[in-house]
Amino acid sequence: GAVVSQHPSWVICKSGTSVKIECRSLDFQATTMFWYRQFPKQSLMLMATSNEGSKATYEQGVEKDKFLINHASLTLSTLTVTSAHPEDSSFYICSAVPINQPQHFGDGTRLSIL
């Protein structure tokens, strides 16, 4: 149980386009989801906390207008990278929180901006 699905797993797009990444909790409801960014050979950096039905809470230094988060239902949060540029290329990982359980992670999305 407690499966988190992330889609797409890999995306390549041109500079200036917007990219949407989905994070779904498949067999549980999650009022809270987290979005992380991971650079090669580095740890996870928390970008924002996604709260169902309310605005996301962004970490310091993360541009909320650049990384739009929507948590419209108890099983889905989306991260949209707007006007993406090569420096936005990274591995993005989401996690969701089942009740009384630790965070469960998706398999990540590798984003490459050309």
Partner 1 sequence: AQSVTQPDIHITVSEGASLELRCNYSYGATPYLFWYVQSPGQGLQLLLKYFSGDTLVQGIKGFEAEFKRSQSSFNLRKPSVHWSDAAEYFCAVGAQRNQGGKLIFGQGTELSVKP
Number of residues engaging partner 1 in binding (CB under 8 A): 26
Choosing from 15, 29, 101, 112, the residue that interacts with partner 1 (CB under 8 A) is 101
Candidates 103, 104, 39, 108; CA nearest to 79 is 108
Choosing from 17, 32, 70, 80, the residue that interacts with partner 1 (CB under 8 A) is 32
> Quick check: 42 binds partner 1 (CB under 8 A)?
yes
Angle at 27 between CA 25 and CA 33, to 5 degrees: 25
Distances (CA, A) of 8 to 58, 65, 77, 81, 99: 22, 21, 13, 13, 26
> Quick check: 35 binds partner 1 (CB under 8 A)?
no
Choosing from 4, 11, 56, 79, the residue that interacts with partner 1 (CB under 8 A) is 4
Q: Which residues bind partner 1 (CB under 8 A)?
A: 4, 6, 31-32, 34, 41-44, 46, 49, 91, 93, 95, 97, 99-108, 110
